[in-house]
Amino acid sequence: MTLFHIAFYRFVPLPDAADVAERLRGLAEGLTGSVLVAAEGVNGTLAGPAEALDAFEAAFTADRRFEGLLFRRSACTTPPFARLKVHHRAEIVAVGQGTAMGGTAVDPLAWRALLDRDDVVVLDNRNSFEYRLGRFRGAIDPGVRNFRDFPAYVEAHAAQWKAEGKRVAMYCTGGIRCDKTSGWMSGLGLDVLRLEGGILNYFAQVPDAERDWSGECFVFDNRIALDTHLQETETTLEQVYGDDPADAWRLARARRLDAAA
């Protein structure tokens, strides 16, 4: 039986977030993965047979607040998850900033041209260990150990970027981290561009993505990393986190999750 992985998110007001989470537990029964629900929206990754995922998507989007929701789907060799977890949280992305999207969404085909511009700062909106594993050419690593570190980096450099007339083109794995921070960054007076659908959408839409991407893309599940053709690689957890003491807790947690799979 072929397994498939889906990823989805939407920022939408959910005053009944706890009830939505409970409903999702029922709709996703028989699937594995993780879904976060908060007053600001929903963020999920699930895995299962195609028919079961089809049924989940149809039932979930029957709620008009999620009508037209994009589900990014890919085939899996390794089962991505061991169990199902649906949680009601304060945020679906823990950064402590507002949720309003700002700036301009850039489709994958237009993104390539930005990488060649002198008036653009290409900013990796992920953790440093993800950047080390793979990145777009010319991208800057903000040195983030925790996503809440990202705003501090932006605040420290915003004045310089504005003085130099630079636009900020940022990217993340699936787009949600950029969506979460883009409105706040625009509020600082920055001209913000964000890669629509993130790295994984770029891989899906651009056949020769390896021209612009060096390395692999880390994914937060048992597949560990994907290449530019969305195929699982042979990269290990030890290779991802290396021997950096600051990432030792991530490696230990990942090993526990892998052992439970």
Span 3-88 CATH architecture? 2-Layer Sandwich (3.30)
Structure tokens at 90: 């304060």
Mean pLDDT of the chain: 90
Fold category of 104-217 in CATH? Oxidized Rhodanese; domain 1 (3.40.250)
Residue 248 has pLDDT above 70, yes or no: no
Task: Provide the pLDDT for residue 51.
Answer: 97
Residue 259 has pLDDT above 60, yes or no: no
Interatomic CA distance for residues 182 and 102, integer angstroms: 5
- Given the residues 76, 172, 178, 217, select the one marked as catalytic: 172
Residue 251 has pLDDT above 70, yes or no: no
* Domains in the chain: boundaries: 3-88, 104-217
Considering only residues 146 and 74, tell me which one the structure prediction assigns the higher pLDDT: 74
pTM of this prediction?
0.88
Q: Residue 260: pLDDT band by 50, 70, 90 thresholds? A: very low
Report the pLDDT averaged over residues 185-199: 95
DSSP per residue, the chain: --EEEEEEEEE---TTHHHHHHHHHHHTTT-EEEEEEETTEEEEEEEE-HHHHHHHHHHHTTSGGGTT---EEEEESS---SSEEEEE-S-SS-SSS-----SEEE-HHHHHHHTT-TTEEEEE-S-HHHHHHEEETT-B----SSGGGHHHHHHHHHHHHHHTT-EEEEE-SSSHHHHHHHHHHHHTT--EEEETTHHHHHHHH-TTGGGTEEE-EE-SSTT-EE-TTS-B----HHHHHTT-GGGHHHHHHHHHHHHH-
Interatomic CA distance for residues 25 and 87, integer angstroms: 9
pLDDT tens readout for residues 93-102: 876 555 567 8
Task: Provide the pLDDT for residue 146.
Answer: 77
pLDDT tens readout for residues 139-184: 999 998 876 788 899 999 999 999 999 999 999 999 999 998 999 9
Q: Residue 239: pLDDT band by 50, 70, 90 thresholds? A: confident
Residue 246 has pLDDT above 90, yes or no: no
Task: Provide the pLDDT for residue 102.
Answer: 82
The Cβ-side half-sphere exposure at 4, using a 13 Å CA radius, reads 14
Residue 17 has pLDDT above 50, yes or no: yes
Report the pLDDT averaged over residues 234-245: 79
Is position 217 annotated as part of the catalytic site?
no
Counting residues of the chain whose pLDDT is more than 90, the rounded percentage is 81
